[in-house]
Structure 1
Amino acid sequence: MQKLLLSALMLLMARQSICQPPSRIDTSTGIHDLDEMVITGTMKAVRRTDSPIPVEVLTPQFFRKNPTPCLFESIGMVNGIQPQLNCNVCNTGDIHINGMEGPYTMILIDGMPIVSSLSTVYGLNGIPNSMVERIEVVKGPASSLYGSEAMGGIINVITKDAAHAPAISADVFATSWKEINADVAMKLKVGKTSGLLGINWFNYQSPVDHNKDGFTDLTLQNRISLFNKWNFGRARNRQASIAARYVYEDRWGGQMNWSRKWRGSDSIYGESITTRRWEFIGTYQLPLKEKIMAQLSYNWHDQGSYYGTTPYNANQQVAFAQLYWDKQFGSNHSFLLGGSYRYTLYDDNTPGTTAADGVTNQPAKTPLPGLFIQDEWTINSHHTLLGGYRYDYDKYHGHVHSPRLAYKYTPDNRHIIRASFGTGYRVVNLFTEDHAALSGAREVVIASALLPERSYNSNINYTHKIQYGRTFINMDLTGFYSWFTNKIIGDFDSDPTKIIYNNLNGHAISRGIAMNIDAVFPFPLKVLAGVTLQDVYQVNENTEGKMIKTVQLHAPRWSGNFVAGYSFNGGWSADLTGKWNGPMRLPIQPRDYRPEYSPWHCITNIQITKKIKDRLEIYGGVKNLFNFLPSDPLMRPFDPFNKHVNDPINNKEGYNFDTGYNYASLQGIRGFAGIRYQLR
C-alpha cells in the first residue's frame, strides 16, 4: 500500500508543468534556509553558514507539514530527536537527542533556560505556533555557554519580534478523535512599542479504548496557554523586550470508567495531573557605548497529581539573571564575556524534601553562579576558530570547568567542514528527576560526595551544496562521539527502605552518524530526508567486579525522517511526512513475555492544502496512515493496584502493573482538517 501511494504521488508530479526553482532553499516549504540567522551556537546573531557550530533551523512552515497540538510532538519530525512518552497512562514524556535521556536536553525560550527537569515537557507544550519565529537545535554538549543541563543538546524556541509579526493570525484544526486545537495571535501597537498576544487551546475529552485493555488509549487533556510579548523601540536600535506566558492544564488517563471522584482511590485506577505555570522573560541592552546585554527570567511551576493512590504535589521556582558584553575587536575577533546566576527552589510531598529528622519539611535550594568567555577568530575567509570556557560553582559539587573549541573550514561556497570538541556537565536535582520512586517512607542516602556528571564530546560536520541545472541539494553529514562519566544513578534494590545515590562506576557512550538531505527540484517538489545510526550504552561494574554493558533504553540504533512537499496548480499542495525507528530497548520485567526490543516501524502522515489568495489556507489529511499500533503497552491492566499480584495461580511469574513499555503512540489512523488565516 505504501509503495502504491508513493507511485501515485510521483505520477501526479510528472503531469505538472515545470516551474523555476528558488535561488536558495526556501523556508516556505519547511526546508532549512542556508542563510538563516541563528544565535544558539554562539549566543550571537550570525548566519547559519557562518557559524562554526552546526545549528539546525526549523520554521513554523516546517511544522505545518504535519500539524500537531504542541511543539513537543512536532519536534519529532527532526532527524535525531525523539519525543519519548514515559507513561502509557498519563502520556508525560521528555525529549531525547541522539539517544540521550530527557534531563540531558536543555529547552530554551528566547535563549532563556526557564525550563527544568520537573517541567521539561511544558517547555514545548502550549506555545502558540503563531508566536514562533523559528526553532534552533544544537546537538551535543553546550555547557560552555549555557551551563548545567545543556549536556546532550539544546532546543531554543525563538519567538517573533512583535514589530514584524502579522496583524492577525489563526490556525484551528480538529481530528476524527475529537481533538481540537486552536492557535490565535494578534499584533498590538502603542507608540513605538509593539506587542504580540497569543492564545493556544487544546481540548480532548472523548475516552477511546481501541486495544480493549480497559484503559484510555490517549490521555484526556484540557490545556490553555497565554503568551504576551512586547518589543520596545529605543534609540540606536538598542534591544528591549519583555514576555510572559501562563499555562494551565488538566489531564488524566486510566480506566475507561474513571472520573474525578475516584482521584486517589484504590477502586478505579487513574493518573490525574493538574498543572499551573508562569514564565517571565526580559532582555535589555544597557544604554552604553559598548554592547552589554542584560537578560532576566523567572518561572513558577505548580503540579498537583495522583498516580493511582500515590499523591505527588510539587512546586518549583527558577530565577535566572545574565549579563554579557558583546564586543568586536577589529574585523577578526568576535568576543563575548559574561556572567550568570541561576537559583532553583524545589519543594514536594516526598521524602526528597524532608529534613534529617524525618519530620520537618526542607525544600531544596540550589544556587548556581557562573562566568563564561568566548572568542570567535576569523583567521581569513576560509578558516574560523572559536574558543570558549565556562566556570560554575555548585554548593554540592564545587568548581566546574567547561572548555570548548570549534573550527570551521570553508574551501569554497559549496563546502563547509566543521569540527568541535567540548565538555558538558550536569548538576543533578535528585528529587525532581526521580519523584515517582520517592513515594513512600524511603530514606534518601548519598553514598559518597557526588561528582557532577561530565561529558567529553567531539563531532565533525560536513555540508555540501550541490547544483545540477535547476536542481539544488544540500547534504549535511555529522559524526558524533560523547563519553560520559560520573553518571548519577539511584539504587532502589539494595535496601527497600532506602534510595542510595552514587556515581556510575564506569562510563556511558553516545556515538553515531547522522545524514540530512534537502532538495529542491525544477518541478515543484521539495524533499527533506534524514537518517541516524547511533550506539548509546553505559558500562558499569557489577557486584562481582565485572564491567557490564547495558544498551540505553528508548535509543533506537536506526532512526530517520522524511518530508516531501509538492505544489499543484490552483493553489493546491500535498505533503507526505514520516518518522521511522528501528528496534529500541524497552523496560521489561523479569521473565517478561513481551520482547525486549521494539519492532521496526514508521508513522506516516499525508496532508492536502488549498491556498486561497495570500491570507487563507484550508487543509486536511490523515495521520498514522498505515495504522501502526504497539502491542501490549500495559502489564496486567486488569489489576492496576496490584491487589492480586501475589496470586500463585493467576500470576505465576510475579508480574506487576506497569505503564512504561512505550515505543509509539497508541493513536491509530485518524483524519484531521483545519483552517489557517493570516492578515498583514
Structure 2
Amino acid sequence: MKNSIVILILFILQFSYAQQTTTVSGFVSGKGRKIHAANVHLLGTNQKTVTDSLGYYLLENVAVGNYTIQISQLGFQTLKKKIEVVQDSINSFDFELTDNDNQLNEVVVSGTLKAVKRLESAVPVEVYSPVFFKKNPTPSIYEALQNINGVRPQLNCGVCNTGDIHINGLEGPYTLVLIDGMPIVSSLSTVYGLSGIPNSLVERIEIVKGPASSLYGSEAVGGLINIITKNPKNAPVFSADYFTTSYFESNLDLGMKFNTGKKATSILGINYFNYDQVIDKDHDNFTDVTLSERISVFNKWSFQRNNNRLFTIAARVMYEDRWGGDVRWEKKFRGGDEIYGESIYTKRGELIGSYQLPFEEKLMLSFSGNVHYQDSRYGTTSYIANQKIGFLQLTWDKKLGRNDFLAGIASRYTYYDDNTTATKEAESTWLPGIFVQDEITVSPKSQVLLGARYDYNSIHGSIFTPRAAYRFKANENTIFRLNAGTGFRVVNLFTEDHAALTGSRDVVIANNLNPEKSINANLNYIQKINFTNGTFIGIETTAFYTRFSNKIISDYETDPNKIIYDNIDGYAISQGISTNVDLNFTNGLKFILGATVLDNKNVENGVSEQPFLTENFTATWSISYKIEPWNLLLDYTGNVYSPMKLPLLSEYDPRNPKSPWYSIQNIQFTYTGWKDFEIYGGIKNLLNFTPKQNNPFLISRANDPFDKNVQISDGTNVGIYGKVVPQGQVVDTPDNPYGLTFDTTYVYGQNQSIRGFFGLRYNFR
C-alpha cells in the first residue's frame, strides 16, 4: 500500500511538472532574409540553441514564466527582448535583427576583389548599410553620403546644382564609383551614377580611401565607392518607401522580387523623384534649388547553377529633366538670351554582370557597359555630350598554401564626344590591363599583400601601378594596417567641371593635359573594446598621405574672366588623420562619431596654396536611441565643416573669400510598432543654415546673366575707383561697382533652409 501511494505521488508530481513546461519556437530574420546559425539563449537558464537553414529555432522543456531572450549573430546587433512563456499556448516568437551600421566583421570585397571579413582584410574598407542611411533619408545616395566621415557631396554649380563626391578633400574626379564591383559610373557626372538607385535594393556601400588603381585602374586615384546591391534570393518580396518634405520634394522607392521557374530569381527596383516648386528665399530672382523630375528602373537577375557557381546580370535605365535659373524661366526660353536658365536632359543606361566559368579553377568573367547622353543648356551655352563605355574583366582566384593569389586581365573602351572647344573630334580610347595580387599569410598574426597592375592607354601609353599592404593582428581586438600604392587618372575635362560651362568665364587650356599620377601611404589602427555588460566600443583611426604629380588645376585667379586649366608645375599634397568611433550601449543608445583633419595644398615654384573648396576639418555624428516600450527610434545626425577657400571675381568682390564654419543637423523619429510598416518624420537643417548668410549675394550679376551691361576694358578705361583697368578685364562702373560678370561658381553647400519631412516604409518578406 505504501508503495502504491509513493508511486501515485511521484506520478502526480511528474504530471504537474510536465504541465509546467512547454516549447518556445519561431523564426529569426534580418537584412530581408532568414538567418542561419543565429544563437538563441534564454538568459539565466541553460536553454540555448541555434537557428537552422530556414532561420527556425526550437527550445524544448521550457518552464512557464517570464524570460529575457537573447539573439546574436555576426554582422547584426545583439537583440534582447522580454517574453512570457505560457502553458497551453503557442509560444511562438519571431525576431528581426538589425544589421550593424559600421560592423567591423562585415564581409567586404572592395579592398582586394575578394570576399573577406573586414577585420581580415589587409586594405581598410569602410562599410555602411541601409540602416545607416535611413537615419537621415535622402532622395539619392549622393546626398546620403554627407553623413560619412571624410566624404562630402560638393555642389559645383549654384544654379544647376550638379556636384561630385569629395573624399578626404579630393575633388570628385578622383573618386571611382562602382556598382557591384563594376566601374559603371564614368567621369561624365559622377552624381548621375549615384542618383536613382532604389535605396531598398542596396545591400551595403563600401568605401576605400586612397588609391586603388592597381586593382581598378583609372579614376581610382583618391578612393572608391562600391554600391553593393541585394542578392535577389535575399531581397524582400515587396518593399516601398515614400517620403516628402515641406519643400514638396517627393521620393518613391519600390522593390519587388520575382521567381521565374526554379533556377532564376529577379528583383525590380523603381525610383521616382519629383521637385517642381520655384522657391527663392534669398530673393535674387533665381531658384534656390534646381527643379527636377527623375525616374530610374533597376532590374537584377540571379541564376542557380551547378556547384553554386555565380551568374548575375543587372540593368538600369535613368532619365532626368532638371532646371534652375531665373524664376520666370520656361522651356520655351531654353538656349535663348531672353530669360536665363540652365536646363539639363540626361539619358543613361547601364548593364553589369558576373559569370563564373564552368571550370574547377575559380575563374570569374565580369562585364559592364554604359551609355550616357546629355543635352544641356547653360543660358546660350550648349553642352551636348555622348559617352559610351565598355568594360570586360577575367579574374583567377587561387589559394596555394599561405598564398592567396588573384590575377586578372581587363579591357576598357571609352567613346566620348561633345560640342565643346576642348573636344575637336570624337575620342575613342582603349585601356587594356593586366594585374596580379598575392596575399601572403606570414603567421596567424601577420599578413602581407603585394599587387601590381600594368595598363596601356591608346593615347598616353604605358602606366604601371604597384601597391603593398601589411596587416598585423595583435589580438582579436587590436589590428594595425600599413598600405602604400599608386594611382592614375586620364582626364576628360568638361565632363567633370561644370564651372567651365556656366557663367561667362572663357575656358583656356594652357597645354596638352597629361594623366595625373599619385602615390599614397596610410596607417590604419582598429581597437575593439567589449565590456562584460554588453557595451561595445570600436575605434578606427587612419593617417594618410597622398602626393600628386601632373595634377590638373583650375586657375580662377590669374584672370577673373577665365578658367585656365593646366598640369601643375610642381606637386600637390593631401594628408591628414581620420578617426571613427562606434559606441553601442545595452540600453539602446548608439553613437557613431567621426572627425577628419585635412591638409591639402598645391605647391608650385616653392609656393604652397590651399585648393578651392577644400576644408581643413570635418566631423560627422549619428546618435540613435530606441525607446522599446513606445516602439520609437530617435536619430540625430549632423556634420560640421571648417572654412573653405572660395573663388572671387575681382579685388572688389564683396563676398567672403572663405566660407564660415557651418553645420547641417537633422532629427528623425521612427515608429516601428506596426508589423512590416515604419512611419518616420523629422526636421532637416535644424540650424537653418544657408550659404547666403553673411554674404550680399551668391550668384554674381544675377540681374544681368548674359553680361549685356558689362564693359570690357581696352586698356585705357578708368574705373570708378580711379584706376586704369587692364585690357580684357571688367571695368568697374556705377552699374557694376564691383567689376563682376555673371558667375555661379561661388557655392559650397546646399541652399535649402530648415524643412520638415514625413515618410512611410513597408516591407513584405
TM-score exceeds 0.5: yes
2:615: which partner in 1?
556
Q: Distance in 2 between matches of 1:19 and 1:628?
A: 45
Pairing 1:128–2:198 present:
yes
Is 2:599 aligned against 1:535? yes
1:585 maps onto 2:656 in alignment: no
1:633 aligned to which of 695, 698, 702: 698
Alignment of 1:151-190 (within 5 A): 151-190=221-260
Contact 2:153 2:164 in 1 (8 A): yes
Query: Match for residue 734 of structure 2?
Result: 649
Q: Determine the structure 1 residue equivalent to 2:717.
A: none
Counterparts of 2:158 and 2:760, CA distance in 1: 31
Paired with 2:579 and 2:562, the residues of 1 have a C-alpha distance of 45
SS at match of 2:252: strand
Q: Is 1:427 aligned to residue 490 of structure 2?
A: yes
Which secondary structure state, in structure 2, belongs to the residue aligned with residue 432 of structure 1? coil
CA contact (8 A) 1:215 1:256 kept: yes
Which of 388, 392, 397 aligns to 2:460? It is 397
Q: Contact 1:390 / 1:402 at 8 angstroms: preserved in 2?
A: yes
Partner residue of 2:308? 237
1:606 aligns with 2:691: no
- Counterpart mapping for 1:105-120 below 5 A: 105-120=175-190
Match of 2:552 in 1: 488
Deviation at 1:384, TM superposition (A): 0.5
Q: Which amino acid aligns with 2:228?
A: I
> Residue type of the partner of 2:670?
T
Select which of 420, 443, 449 maps to 1:386.
Answer: 449
CA distance in 1, matches of 2:679, 2:104: 29
- Structure 2 residue aligned with 1:513: 577
- In 1, distance between residues paired with 2:644 and 2:664? 15
Q: Distance in 1 between matches of 2:294 and 2:633?
A: 31
Shift of 1:21: 10
Aligned residue identity for 2:537: I
For residues 450-508 of structure 1, give each alpha carbon's deviation from its aligned partner in whole angstroms, at most 9, with x where no partner exists. 54211110000000001233221000011000010111346799999999864311000
Is 1:142 aligned to 2:212, yes or no? Answer: yes
- In the TM superposition, 1:159-308 aligns within 5 A as 159-191=229-261, 192-308=263-379
1:615 aligns with 2:676: yes
Q: CA 1:520–1:441 in 2, change beyond 3 Å: closer, same or farther?
A: closer
Quote how far apart the aligned CAs of 1:119 are.
2.7
- Who is 2:126 aligned against? 56
The whole-number CA distance in structure 2 between the counterparts of 1:166 and 1:536 is 44
How far off its partner does 1:637 sit?
A: 1.5
Identity of aligned residues (%): 52
Task: Name which one, 1 or 2, has greater alpha-carbon Rg.
Answer: 2
- 2:156 touches 2:748 (CA, 8 Å); kept in 1? no
Worse overlay, 150-159 or 112-121: 112-121
Name 1:5's counterpart in structure 2: none
Q: 1:97-108 to 2 correspondence within 5 Å? A: 97-108=167-178
| Distance in 2 of aligned mates of 1:425 and 1:262 | 42
Matches within 5 A, 1:298-337: 298-330=369-401, 332-337=402-407
**Secondary structure, in 3 states, of the residue corresponding to 1:84?**
strand
What amino acid is aligned across from residue 458 of structure 1 in structure 2? Answer: A
1:445, distance to aligned residue in structure 2 (A): 6.4
Contact in 2 for aligned 1:246/1:279 (Cα 8 Å): yes
Q: Could you say what secondary structure the match of 2:753 adopts?
A: coil
User: 1:651 deviation in Å?
Assistant: 1.2
Match of 2:744 in 1: 659
Distance 1:562 1:443, change over 3 A: closer
CA distances 1:122-142 after superposition (whole Å, capped 9, x unpaired): 111000001100000000000
Residue identity opposite 2:673 in structure 1: I
**Within the alignment, does 1:46 sit opposite 2:116 as a pair?**
yes
**8 Å contact 2:556–2:647 — kept in the other structure?**
no
CA RMSD of aligned residues (A): 2.2
Give the aligned residue type for 2:620: N
Judge conservation of contact 1:320–1:342 (CA < 8 Å) in 2. yes
**Cα distance in 2 between the residues matched to 1:496 and 1:60:** 44
1:52 and 1:321 mapped to 2: Cα distance? 26
Take 2:555 and 2:578, find their aligned partners in 1: how far apart are those partners?
34
Which residue is 1:10 aligned to? Answer: none
Offset, 1:537: 1.0
- Indicate which of 455, 462, 472 corresponds to 1:409: 472
Say whether residues 1:76 and 2:150 are aligned partners.
no
The TM-score normalised by the length of structure 2 is 0.82
Does the CA-based 8 Å contact 2:557-2:647 persist in structure 1? no
The letter for the 1-side match of 2:684 is K
Which moved further from structure 2: 510-519 or 637-646? Answer: 637-646
In structure 2, do the counterparts of structure 1 residues 126 and 290 end up closer, same or farther at CA, with 3 Å as the change threshold?
same
Pairing of 1:325-474 with structure 2 (within 5 A) = 325-330=396-401, 332-354=402-424, 362-434=425-497, 437=500, 447=511, 451-470=514-533, 471-474=535-538
Give the counterpart letter for 1:640 in structure 2.
P
| Count of residues paired in the alignment | 649
CA deviation after TM superposition for structure 1 residue 25, in Å:
7.3
CA distance in structure 2 between the partners assigned to 1:556 and 1:431 by the alignment? 24
- Aligned to 2:633, which of 552, 573, 583? 573
Measured in 2, the distance between the counterparts of 1:130 and 1:246 equals 17
* Cα distance in structure 2, aligned partners of 1:242 and 1:655: 52
Question: Do the aligned partners of residues 26 and 663 (structure 1) sit closer, same or farther apart at CA in structure 2, a change above 3 Å counting?
Answer: farther
Q: Any conservation in 2 of the 1:20–1:523 contact (CA below 8 Å)? A: no
Residue 371 of structure 2 aligns with an amino acid whose one-letter code is W
TM-score, length of structure 1 as denominator length = 0.92
Asked whether the 8 Å contact 2:157–2:498 carries over to 1, the reply is no
The SS at the match of 1:351 is: coil
Equivalent position SS for 1:625? coil
Assess if the C-alpha contact under 8 Å between 2:588 and 2:625 holds in 1. yes
**Which secondary structure state, in structure 1, belongs to the residue aligned with residue 621 of structure 2?**
strand
User: Secondary structure of the residue that 1:612 maps to in structure 2?
Assistant: coil
3-state SS of paired residue (1:287): coil
Aligned residue for 1:602, secondary structure, equals strand
**Aligned position for 1:13:** none
Corresponding letter in the other structure for 1:88: G
Distance 1:325 1:650 in 2: 68
Contact 1:25/1:472 (CA < 8 Å) preserved in 2?
Answer: no
Q: Whose RCO is larger (CA < 8 A, sep 6+)?
A: 1
Shift of 1:590: 1.9
Please state how far the C-alpha of 1:211 moved relative to its aligned partner. 1.1
Matched position secondary structure for 1:353 = coil
Between the aligned partners of 2:227 and 2:430, the Cα distance in structure 1 is 25
Distance 2:619 2:276 in 1: 32
**1:116 Cα deviation (Å)?**
1.5
Counterpart Cα distance in 1 of 2:737 and 2:433: 55
